Amino acid sequence: MGATIAATAGAFRYRLATRLGFFMPGFAAAAWAPLIPFAKARVGLDDGMLGLVLLAAGVGAIATMPIAGALAGRFGCRRVIAAASALTGLCLPLLAYVPSLPQLVAVLFAFGAGVGALDVTINIQSIIVEREAGRPLMSGFHGFYSIGGIAGAAGTTALFAFGAQPLAAGLVAGAACLVLGLSAIPGLLAEGAGREGPALAFPRGVVWFLGALAFILFLVEGSVADWSAVFLTSVRLMPRAYAGLGFAAFAAAMTSGRLTGDLFVHRLGGWRVMLLGALLAAAGFAVANLVPGWPAALVGYAMVGIGCSNTVPVLYTATGKQTAMAESLAVPAMTSMGYAGMLVGPAAIGLMARATSLPWAFTAVILMLLGVAASARWLRG
């Protein structure tokens, strides 16, 4: 009986730490978003230059992910997540303070590195914890990333509403990351993923396939984040003051879908969740594109959020089951391909919209989602 209680307590500790680990990168990335206008004004950037500067965070994340995976495989998730939490927490107040463009780019790169390392390493831990549990947990874990995003954006915005200066808001957000990291340490895995490998590795075998699906699915998320407001105001003629409702509908639906997704994965299987989710997301884009009026577009974006909510968690579970690469290499390889989709996709949609129109650009996204649905059967094994 004592052993069973100890095992149960240990499982709870590991799952709680995993949830906190997912909460942190979502919280940090969202806490930075309200600070962006202040950084833009402080450094004196126009819109075009700001877009280029913001890429530094994505480059930092992609550059660090393979290294973080290799370090997690060698030294364990605990050390890497602790170091990444500290780096992320220290960068947030600096982002609210640095007065020059080179400093901002450097800190953004470091911030992206910290968030990227957190993202990769906590996904490695989540694969191990889910496998030990013997039942689906991945969707619920990823749901805490979404909750962290809501908390980070709402918390920082509330600080500004009460009169806080950017540096004070950055200090509070950074301190929160440090506290979360310290709170998670007892339940973070001290051992590595079981196999060592090179610090940098290209995807191999089925990981190419999983990475390609991640590229598309992250591209879908990025397209809604970057273009939903533009679509609503320019195509559906929604007042600009309410244009953020499109992404809000998407994010709320995705969060609720992830928090309940483990049940559906258990009952239907991961490949069916991928199939139905991709089809629902494609249908959501079709509703937004084809049905007149912005209320229908909001319904469409909510459908996209529900459809996409559990597709990426299914991919991470599949990555933990494949044998072509060690988890410490496969997870960063797949995640890097996904982040590339999030970075490249919105820009590609912009180029397509310029050449044709925004609805036609979203039609290309629909076709990619149909491709994901058609590929879902390959996840059966």
Give the pLDDT score at 83.
Answer: 96
Residues 159 and 270 reside in one and the same domain: no
Per-residue pLDDT for 47 more than 70?
no
Q: Which of 153, 187, 221 is a domain's end point? A: 187
Instruction: Look at residues 310, 281, 302, 288 and name the one whose alpha carbon lies nearest to residue 368.
Output: 281
* Residue 165 is assigned to a structural domain of this protein: yes
Q: Are 330 and 214 in contact (CB under 8 A)?
A: no
202 vs 272 pLDDT, higher one: 272
Per-residue pLDDT for 124 more than 80?
yes
Instruction: Look at residues 123, 115, 121 and name the one whose alpha carbon lies nearest to residue 214.
Output: 123
Residues 70 and 124 reside in one and the same domain: yes
Q: Which of 126, 159, 187 is a domain's end point? A: 187
29 vs 12, 278, 314, 367, CA distance in Å?
Answer: 27, 26, 23, 29
Residues 12 and 116 reside in one and the same domain: yes
* Residue 199 is assigned to a structural domain of this protein: no
Per-residue pLDDT for 97 more than 70?
yes
Least confident window among 43-52, 167-176, 322-331: 43-52
Per-residue pLDDT for 43 more than 70?
yes
Q: Are 207 and 330 in contact (CB under 8 A)?
A: yes
Give the pLDDT score at 4.
Answer: 36
Give the pLDDT score at 200.
Answer: 58
Residues 323 and 230 reside in one and the same domain: yes
Query: Average per-residue pLDDT in the chain?
Result: 89
Give the pLDDT score at 318.
Answer: 94
CA distance 361 to 381: 33
CA distance 217 to 261: 17
| Three-class DSSP category at 243 | coil
Give the pLDDT score at 6.
Answer: 45
* Residue 212 is assigned to a structural domain of this protein: yes
Per-residue pLDDT for 259 more than 80?
yes
Residues 96 and 216 reside in one and the same domain: no
Q: Which of 187, 222, 256 is a domain's end point? A: 187
Least confident window among 15-24, 126-135, 344-353: 344-353
Q: Are 355 and 232 in contact (CB under 8 A)?
A: no
Length of the chain: 381
Q: State the pTM of this model.
A: 0.85
Domain count across the chain? 2
Give the pLDDT score at 39.
Answer: 87
| Three-class DSSP category at 4 | helix
**Could you tell me the sign of the dihedral formed by the alpha carbons of 21, 22, 23, 28, in that order?**
positive
* Residue 118 is assigned to a structural domain of this protein: yes
* Residue 197 is assigned to a structural domain of this protein: no
Residues 218 and 90 reside in one and the same domain: no
Q: Look up the domain containing 51 and give its range.
A: 2-187
Percentage with pLDDT > 90 across the chain? 60
Residues 289 and 163 reside in one and the same domain: no
Per-residue pLDDT for 190 more than 50?
yes
List, in order, residues 6 or more apart from 86 with CB less than 8 Å away.
178, 181
Confidence label for 120 from pLDDT (cuts 50, 70 and 90): very high
* Residue 192 is assigned to a structural domain of this protein: no
Residues 152 and 230 reside in one and the same domain: no
Confidence label for 5 from pLDDT (cuts 50, 70 and 90): very low
Give the pLDDT score at 192.
Answer: 60
Mean pLDDT (whole number) for 17-29? 94
Residues 365 and 245 reside in one and the same domain: yes
Give the pLDDT score at 80.
Answer: 95
DSSP 61-126: HHHHHHHHHHHHHHH-HHHHHHHHHHHHHHHHHHHTT--SHHHHHHHHHHHHHHHHHHHHHHHHHH
- For 290, the token pair is 């084809």
Give the tens place of pLDDT for each residue, 266-295: 999 999 999 999 999 999 999 999 999 999
Mean pLDDT (whole number) for 309-326? 93
Residues 172 and 227 reside in one and the same domain: no
Per-residue pLDDT for 366 more than 50?
yes
Mean pLDDT (whole number) for 190-197? 60
* Residue 223 is assigned to a structural domain of this protein: yes
Using alpha carbons only, what angle is made at residue 344 by residues 276 and 44, rounded to the nearest 5 degrees? 130
Give the tens place of pLDDT for each residue, 148-184: 988 988 888 889 888 889 999 999 999 999 999 999 9
Per-residue pLDDT for 7 more than 60?
no
**Could you tell me the sign of the dihedral formed by the alpha carbons of 345, 251, 39, 227, in that order?**
positive
Give the pLDDT score at 145.
Answer: 92
Q: Are 131 and 53 in contact (CB under 8 A)?
A: no
What is the CATH classification number for the domain harbouring 316?
Answer: 1.20.1250.20
Q: Are 329 and 69 in contact (CB under 8 A)?
A: yes
Per-residue pLDDT for 226 more than 80?
no
DSSP state of 309: T
Mean pLDDT (whole number) for 135-142? 94
Residues 210 and 183 reside in one and the same domain: no
Mean pLDDT (whole number) for 215-223? 92
Over the Cα atoms of the chain, what is R_g? 20
* Residue 90 is assigned to a structural domain of this protein: yes
Residues 150 and 82 reside in one and the same domain: yes
270 vs 8 pLDDT, higher one: 270
Percentage with pLDDT > 70 across the chain? 94
